[in-house]
Structure 1
């Protein structure tokens, strides 16, 4: 394994997760779609119909860490608030 490449990749993922957190922190209470998150971070590339999307893998990492949640009906992402009912 290339240690330097691994460290750079881990830092890049951490920076992207932090940027997503900051975007969602100032988002409307009903959250943002994947594409809205991406566009707010200046990501405009992607395949047709998915321009601006943040990779689901990054949102999945944040979801598994308990940081974000996605509404199953609207598909909008919000920060997870603790306790859940606040």
Structure 2
């Protein structure tokens, strides 16, 4: 396998693990949900530039939102898992 393919596979595995970790945090979150910075702090990924921490976790949360797994709600823009009613 060439180096670019190996790097791609490594990155995809890392993203999958990070998304799974964020999902676990949301699964154990209080009912009122969590702010993106709180998700990031719980995982040690709350980096960003001055006064804008939480970019890493916000990006992962947006991926989970796109996947239909998480949603942002309320005036405080907190995050929770999407609850499916069967």
- Give me the TM-score of the superposition, normalised by structure 1: 0.85
CA shift, 1:56, in A, is 2.9
1:9 has 2:24 as partner: no
Q: 2:22 aligns with which of 20, 38, 41?
A: 20
CA shift, 1:50, in A, is 2.3
Question: Which ranges of structure 2 fall in alignment gaps of 5 or more residues?
Answer: none
Superposed CA RMSD in Å reads 1.9
**Deviating runs (4+, > 2 A) in structure 1?**
50-57
Greater helix percent: which structure?
A: 2
Task: Give 1:60's aligned residue.
Answer: 62
Q: How many residues align?
A: 84
